[in-house]
Structure 1
Amino acid sequence: MFAVIFKAKVGNQDQHYVDTVAIMRDLAFDQYGCVDFIAVAEGKQEIAISYWHSEEDIKRWHQDAKHAVAQKLGKDKWYSSYTVEVVEIKRQYSFGE
């Protein structure tokens, strides 16, 4: 299992941003095998973590043409900066649910 950690400083997030996020989320789940996606924001900080079965799925998602347009809009309009980390999950455990 792999995770993509997206950390950003928020810029101007308008309704187009909200709509694009929903479309990208559906695309990741429906066409690229995203397993889970969690996003939170506090002040000007945003973090999103998505979970994937393989690194190949992540690469294909990253190269998707619609995702490329969203990435460009992110750089040009919606974020003042961001970092992306791709990590392999070595161990997982939980409590409850």
Structure 2
Amino acid sequence: MYVVIFRARIRQLDEDYRRSAERLRELALGRYGCLAFHALSEGEEEIALSYWPDEAAIRAWNNDPEHRQAQQLGRERWYAWHRVEVAQIERAYGAAP
């Protein structure tokens, strides 16, 4: 299993962002095999964690036309900067589902 960690400094989040984020979450989970998606913001910082079965699913998601358009809007309007990290999960344990 893999995790994609998206970190960003928020510039301005508007109604277009909220609609886009909701749509992209649906696409990731429904079409591209995303196992779970969690996003939080605190002050001017945002972090999103998405969990994927393999790198092929991550690549397919990254190449989705709607996702690409949202990435462009993110660079132009929504975020001052962003960083994406991809990591393979070697072990997971605990009581949460």
TM band (smaller chain):
over 0.9
Paired position in structure 1 for 2:74: 74
* Identical aligned residues as a percent: 41
Measured in 2, the distance between the counterparts of 1:60 and 1:30 equals 13
Alpha-carbon distance change, 96 to 78 in structure 1, aligned in 2, over 3 angstroms: closer
Alpha-carbon distance change, 96 to 80 in structure 1, aligned in 2, over 3 angstroms: closer
Paired position in structure 2 for 1:21: 21
Q: Under a length normalisation based on structure 1, what TM-score does the superposition of the two structures give?
A: 0.97
The 3-state SS of whatever aligns with 1:33 is coil
Structure 1 unaligned residues grouped into runs of 5+: none
Paired position in structure 1 for 2:59: 59
Residue type at the aligned position of 2:23: I
Residue 89 of structure 1 pairs with residue 85 of structure 2: no
The 3-state SS of whatever aligns with 1:66 is helix
Residue type at the aligned position of 2:71: Q
Q: Under a length normalisation based on structure 2, what TM-score does the superposition of the two structures give?
A: 0.97
Structure 2 unaligned residues grouped into runs of 5+: none
Measured in 2, the distance between the counterparts of 1:96 and 1:33 equals 21
Runs of 4+ in 1 over 3 A off after TM superposition: none
Alpha-carbon distance change, 10 to 96 in structure 1, aligned in 2, over 3 angstroms: closer
